[in-house]
Amino acid sequence: MKTDKIQTKKTNPAIAKGEIQDLLLQIGFAPHMRGYEYIILGTELIMENPQKMHHITKEIYPEIARHFQVTTCAAFLISGDSNNLTETKNTNESL
């Protein structure tokens, strides 16, 4: 799916955040996990401007780092957490 075809609509940020949280819980990414709030903000940023999906490391990570007052490297931890989640989910499904 091409991101330029994604239709975005103006929504209440609290509703969007709630929907993102629900989806994260459904895939097994709980609030206590490192990077949880980073992923929520990153998703919100992409929902606001889908073209940013093509520039994760140059736009999304720096914005997350500024928002949470951490280094860009700390924001980059998101990718490691999501990879761990995928590996854990795949392992659990094969049991």
Q: Mind giving me the DSSP string for 20-81?
A: HHHHHHHTT--TTSTTHHHHHHHHHHHHH-GGGGGGIIIIIHHHHHHHHT--HHHHHHHHHH
Vertex 67: Cα angle to 56 and 78 (nearest 5): 45
pTM above 0.75, yes or no: no
Radius of gyration for the chain, computed over Cα atoms and rounded to the nearest angstrom: 14
- pLDDT tens across 4-26, in order? 444 445 556 667 889 999 999 99
- pLDDT tens across 61-75, in order? 999 999 999 888 777
Query: What is the distance between the alpha carbons of residues 52 and 87, in angstroms, rounded to a whole number?
Result: 26
